[in-house]
């Protein structure tokens, strides 16, 4: 691909307008394989900074990451290391997306009288408990149902939260 002289706004090879504020990569996020912070960066730990002390960084990110507790002369940097959120590429950067999973569905179609007559699909199973005599039923009748999401997918039950496959890193933001 050959670069040519442009008579319109400068655009890089990916079609994005060049940002004169980030020529020194101020505001860029750096990823480190261990917990280190380069001299020209701050850990992305949600620090509240004075605008007067970090004017160049403020000119790039502004108050995008403020939570409402900052003073008028302050701004906040991202808290990626603290919240441990998965970073997702997007055309709309800096949005917070809530966790979620697809719905789990199942069916239970009883044919009263025999466990063999119960049809279950997905995450549920019929429970066959031989109840003691005098409790209102004979053996062989389904007493209830059991719900276990791991029957529909082995991904369920492996974590206490939504967890994509991951490898942890330390994130820093360039400020000078």
List % helix, strand, coil for the chain (3-state, nearest 5).
15, 20, 65
Give the chain's residues under pLDDT 50. Answer: 6, 131-138, 142
Contact 149, 106 (CB under 8 A): no
8 Å CB contact between 163 and 28: no
Q: Quick one: residue 5, left, alpha or beta (phi over 0 = left, psi -120 to 50 = alpha)?
A: beta
The pLDDT of residue 97 is 78
33 CB neighbour count, 10 Å cutoff: 9
Q: What pLDDT, on the 0 to 100 scale, is given for residue 174?
A: 92
- Check if the beta carbon of residue 97 is closer than 8 Å to that of residue 88: yes
Q: Which residues contact 10 (CB under 8 A, 6 or more apart)?
A: 17, 18
pLDDT, position 21: 52
Q: DSSP for 29-91, please give it.
A: EEEESSS---TTEEESS--EEEGGGSHHHHHHHTTTT--S-S-TTEEE---HHHH-PPP---S
Res 151: pLDDT: 77
φ/ψ (deg, to 5) at 38: -60, 160
Per-residue pLDDT, 76: 96
Distance CA 35, CA 168 (A): 10
Instruction: Specify the pLDDT at position 50.
Output: 96
């Amino acid at each position: 691909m050959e670069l040519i002289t442009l008579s319109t706004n400068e655009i890089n090879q990916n079609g994005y307008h060049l940002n004169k504020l980030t020529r020194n990569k101020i505001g860029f996020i750096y990823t480190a394989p261990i917990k280190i912070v380069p001299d020209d960066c701050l850990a992305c730990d949600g620090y509240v900074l004075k605008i007067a002390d970090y004017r160049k960084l403020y000119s790039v990110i502004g108050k995008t990451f403020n939570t409402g507790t900052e003073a008028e002369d302050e701004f906040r940097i991202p808290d990626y290391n603290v919240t441990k959120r998965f970073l997702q590429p997007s055309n709309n950067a800096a949005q917070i997306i809530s966790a979620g999973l697809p719905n789990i569905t199942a069916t239970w179609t009883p044919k009263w009288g025999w466990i063999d007559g119960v049809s279950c699909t997905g995450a549920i199973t019929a429970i066959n408990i031989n109840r003691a005599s005098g409790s209102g039923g004979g053996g062989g009748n389904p007493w209830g149902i059991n719900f276990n999401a791991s029957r529909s997918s082995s991904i369920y039950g492996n974590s206490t939260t939504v967890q994509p496959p991951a490898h942890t890193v330390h994130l820093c933001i360039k400020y000078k």
